[in-house]
Chain A
Amino acid sequence: AQKITQTQPGMFVQEKEAVTLDCTYDTSDQSYGLFWYKQPSSGEMIFLIYQGSYDEQNATEGRYSLNFQKARKSANLVISASQLGDSAMYFCAMRAFMIKAAGNKLTFGGGTRVLVKP
């Protein structure tokens, strides 16, 4: 079974500062993928960044970077130079490399709410 834990229910961050959102995961699979999504108040889920378990380098996408520590089973999201539009819920998710017949579902954590202060 897979489990994703996000221990920070909510955070404040000053505009233009960086913020780190924690994510730890538990899986017995050796091959898996980790995702971060952003959910603004409008409700849609916006993909931010992906990290494969065998990727040697940490993923980066613009102002988003993923601090992947495989031995510690953590995949923290770093948002640099926070903007007011970054205020939203952020979800960490994982998908294991199972055989296709068993499905490839995405398991989500409980989320972290980020509020950016001007």
Chain B
Amino acid sequence: DGGITQSPKYLFRKEGQNVTLSCEQNLNHDAMYWYRQDPGQGLRLIYYSQIVNDFQKGDIAEGYSVSREKKESFPLTVTSAQKNPTAFYLCASSETGSTNEKLFFGSGTQLSVL
């Protein structure tokens, strides 16, 4: 079945540590996105990529980094510069990034700080 796979489901970060969240899609979609969700709140865009080897900052990119070396993969690194990383992280994709396209989402990664 086609879809988006996020791993791990739960992740713990020690202070000063970088951690990487995985996102893989087999939908052959060009565009991929990372969103952060804090408890009881909506989603905020961290980074997005509309094509391989290209990505743009979203609304809350500070303390995060991404890469897009392959079409199917869009990993997110939460760096030590992100002082409040505890949140639910959702990866999404869409065919081309056009305005009427729905986003397909993964099942998310819950990141907590030890």
- A positions within 8 Å CB-CB of B: 4, 6, 9, 31-33, 35, 37, 42-47, 50, 52, 91, 93, 95-98, 100, 103-111
Bound CA span A91–B31, Å: 21
B53: Cβ under 8 A from any A Cβ: no
CB <8 Å contact, B99 and A105: no
Indicate the size class of the contact surface on chain B.
20 to 34
CB <8 Å contact, A45 and B33: no
- List B contacts of A95 (CB < 8 A): 99
CB <8 Å contact, B41 and A111: yes
- List A contacts of B104 (CB < 8 A): 47
- B positions within 8 Å CB-CB of A: 31, 33, 35, 40-45, 48, 50, 56, 58-59, 88, 90, 92, 97-100, 102-108, 110
Question: Chain B CB within 10 Å — which of A37, A45, A108 has the most?
Answer: A45
CB <8 Å contact, A45 and B48: no
- List A contacts of B43 (CB < 8 A): 45, 91, 93, 106, 108
Are A42 and B107 CB-contacts (below 8 A) given A108-B42, A111-B41?
A: yes
Q: Which residue of B lies closest to A108 (CB)?
A: B42
